[in-house]
Amino acid sequence: NAGVTQTPKFQVLKTGQSMTLQCAQDMNHNSMYWYRQDPGMGLRLIYYSASEGTTDKGEVPNGYNVSRLNKREFSLRLESAAPSQTSVYFCASTSPGLAGRNEQFFGPGTRLTVL
Amino acid sequence: AQKITQTQPGMFVQEKEAVTLDCTYDTSDPSYGLFWYKQPSSGEMIFLIYQGSYDQQNATEGRYSLNFQKARKSANLVISASQLGDSAMYFCAMFPNRDDKIIFGKGTRLHILP
């Protein structure tokens, strides 16, 4: 039981390049999330998926796209990376109502630098 | 609008003292959950404690307790007998039950002094 896994752990991109951050969970959770964390800003929600086949925008969706490939996997794509997207990206999953509490399980994060 | 506010950007506390980290929230939902997470310098997010809005008693998990005052919309984290390993960033978060968005505060950086 690996929990939430993310790849890659580190990435450096040049402005304008594209890439996809991968996330997978093996806990059979319905909901999955992508956050970015910038210094002094806490975690900000980019996109989330309440169930397989659905996605919704969060607080800061511009410049990103997501795909909920199946129940396990939720990917985040940067089509044309910008320096403002330099951040640490966290994927998380949760299954609301499980055991009466809605704990979010986080992946280890991806540190992305855009030059 | 739903919002989480952590008013203490940083705190310094002597080892073995108790610590209270403040969190206030705003929601019109009658049903919600409140969380605290710890983020050490290594970067991972570690779940600490959960409080449901209808829970009658304050949540406790070992040295962590949540001082839940529903009327004041506050959910302060109390760490008893602080340890050097408690030095980290702490985030308060809210899960309104009517949708799946979890909202985080900006965090409090706690420094435990030897």
Q: How confident is the model at residue A99, as a pLDDT?
A: 42
- Give B45-87 pLDDT, tens digit per residue: 998 998 988 888 999 989 999 999 999 999 999 999 999 999 9
- Give B93-105 pLDDT, tens digit per residue: 988 766 667 889 9
Does A86 score more than 80 pLDDT?
Answer: yes
Of B109, B112, B93, the residue nearest B21 (C-alpha): B109
| CB contact (8 A) between residue A50 and residue B97 | no
Does A98 score more than 50 pLDDT?
Answer: no
| CB contact (8 A) between residue B95 and residue A58 | no
Q: How far apart are CA B44 and CA B63, in angstroms?
A: 20
Identity of the residue in B33, B93, B100 whose CB atom sits nearest the CB atom of A101: B33
Contact between B111 and B24 under an 8 Å Cβ cutoff? The reply is no
| CB contact (8 A) between residue B106 and residue A41 | yes
Q: Is A84 on the interface with B (CB under 8 A)?
A: no
Q: How far apart are CA A10 and CA B22, in angstroms?
A: 33
Q: Is A96 on the interface with B (CB under 8 A)?
A: yes
- Give A22-67 pLDDT, tens digit per residue: 999 999 888 899 999 997 778 999 999 988 889 999 989 999 999 9
Taking one residue from A and the other from B, the number of pairs with CB-CB distance under 8 angstroms is 61
Mean of all residue pLDDT scores within chain B: 91
| CB contact (8 A) between residue A104 and residue B35 | yes
Q: How confident is the model at residue B95, as a pLDDT?
A: 82
